Structure 1
Amino acid sequence: MLKPFLEAGRIVGTHGVRGELRLEPWCDTAAFLSGFKTLYWQEGRTPAQVESARPHKSLLLLKLAGVDTVEQAEALRGRVVYIARTDARLPEGQYFQQDLLGCEVVDADTQQVYGKLTDIFSTGANDVYQVTDAAGKNYLLPAVRQVVTAVDITAGRVEIRPIRGIFDDAD
């Protein structure tokens, strides 16, 4: 089952004296989070209304309702911020990393199970998926359309057509 709330980032500090927060986003860009009107604490149990949000370098500067002093803002340092899945819209073919992690990775043609997707690395050109097999061996594969042919988050399944040599000893 998909989690109704997704980890979006962590409060890493304050900005100014009027209660603004510095948020380290755990998504592609801080701009993605700047459009949310409500964020959440405690895995979604407590809503926080966003008064303003703007990207600043690699961070998001955030003003929340009820946080009006630097002392109130400082008390939130280190807390994880969540977004509601229902508020988040991704373009076709894009997925939340949290949803991909743990998915079973199978061959699109033979249905052979290669392992579980255990990590995702951002390399600039494309992401790279780490797949860990039952014996604990790790394999890296590029997250490109020629390799990743289908993703079914609900079923927890990623289908691939691996490049020769990734899962075997072929050159």
Structure 2
Amino acid sequence: MANIEWGKVVGTHGVRGELKVQPWVDFPSLLPKVRALYLDGVPYEPVGCRKHKNVVLLTLRTVDDRNRADALRDKTITTPREDIDLGEGHYFYSDLYGFDVFDRRLGHVIGVLDRVEIFPGGDVYVVRYEGREVMIPIVPAFDGGVSLEDRTVTVTTIEGMLEDDED
């Protein structure tokens, strides 16, 4: 199974080895609940994290001074997906990749979820539809939910959303 990328170390905070992490997930509070976080393939034991402005401050067991923390700058933090239990009904976007995308308006599967793009204005599903990509905003008007059991993402498109703009 794939690794989850939690974020990137963008700096240090203080002199005791706290890492400033730019989070790439919606719930960085799970960081200290996993057994190990990996930076360049090296495992580290997380012992705490807290939100600070637009970053997360992460403490790792063996990183106890500014020099050790600074050596981890620009590293991506990962962990194996199977090491994370989000609880019933919760998922990472990457868990949905490859799911069928069912359109309620049309009444059938329109394609496969390729990925999710994160934008400041909101996240979007990127669906493979008739050999091209279609972006569908993940907002209540279009998002009909996810069935992990059926491996299906349900959406409601509007007229014109699936049409090829290049004509």
Q: Which interval holds the TM-score relative to the shorter structure?
A: 0.7 to 0.9
Q: Unpaired runs of 5+ in structure 1? A: none
Give the corresponding residue for 1:112. 109
Q: Deviations over 1:45-100 (max 9, x none)?
A: 835131x32211111112211111212112222332235421x348x5x6422223
Cα separation, 2, equivalents of 1:46 and 1:157 = 34
Q: Deviations over 1:148-170 (max 9, x none)?
A: 3231345542122211211147x
- State the secondary structure of the residue aligned to 1:122: coil
Give the corresponding residue for 1:82. 78
Give the corresponding residue for 2:99. 103
Q: Report if aligned partners of 2:13, 2:20 keep a CA contact under 8 Å in 1.
A: yes
1:19 partner amino acid:
G
Matched pairs, number: 158
Cα separation, 1, equivalents of 2:136 and 2:40 = 31
Q: Report if aligned partners of 1:9, 1:80 keep a CA contact under 8 Å in 2.
A: yes
Cα separation, 1, equivalents of 2:40 and 2:143 = 30
Cα separation, 2, equivalents of 1:123 and 1:14 = 25
Q: Unpaired runs of 5+ in structure 2? A: none
Cα separation, 2, equivalents of 1:42 and 1:164 = 45
Give the corresponding residue for 1:59. 55
Cα separation, 2, equivalents of 1:151 and 1:45 = 34
Taking structure 2 as the reference length, the TM-score comes to: 0.73
Q: Deviations over 1:74-128 (max 9, x none)?
A: 2222332235421x348x5x6422223343323346323334333323344x432
Give the corresponding residue for 1:41. 38
